[in-house]
Amino acid sequence: MKIAMLAPISWRTPPRHYGPWEWVTSLITEGLVSHGVDVTLFATGDSVTAAKLRWVCPRPYSEDRSLDPKVWECLHIAEVFEHADEFDLIHNHFDFLPLTYSGLVSTPVLTTIHGFSSP
């Protein structure tokens, strides 16, 4: 099975300090890889993983205020869905925004909601 793991890009995966969604994404990714699953982690370019790493955003936008969060989030999410046919499953840890792309691909999208991002 080939899994695309979509991490948030506010922080590195795994985070250096704070970044609970990134931490959970990292734990699941590394666990799957340790069991022989073919995982590609879509995260920031400075992320650390035993999986294959694909990135658009070079570093977390929370650590570099010159990066516009919405622009980089949209580019990051689009990257995953542009390559959806390469995977058997997309596991979304990026909250609700990627769901707007899910109807455009035949690859199943599993979404883990870590918390509420809006009131």
Question: CATH code at 33?
Answer: 3.40.50
Residue 75 lies in a domain: yes
Q: Characterise 47 by phi-psi region: left (phi > 0), alpha (psi -120 to 50), beta (else).
A: beta
Tokens of 98: 């990627």
Domain coverage including residue 75: 2-111
Residue 76 lies in a domain: yes
Check residue 118 and give its pLDDT. Answer: 54
Residue 119 lies in a domain: no
45-104 pLDDT, tens digit each: 999 999 999 999 999 999 999 999 999 999 999 999 999 999 999 999 998 899 999 999
**What pTM does this model have?**
0.94
Structural domain total, the chain: 1
Residue 85 lies in a domain: yes
4-17 pLDDT, tens digit each: 999 999 999 999 99
End-to-end CA separation in angstroms for the chain: 36
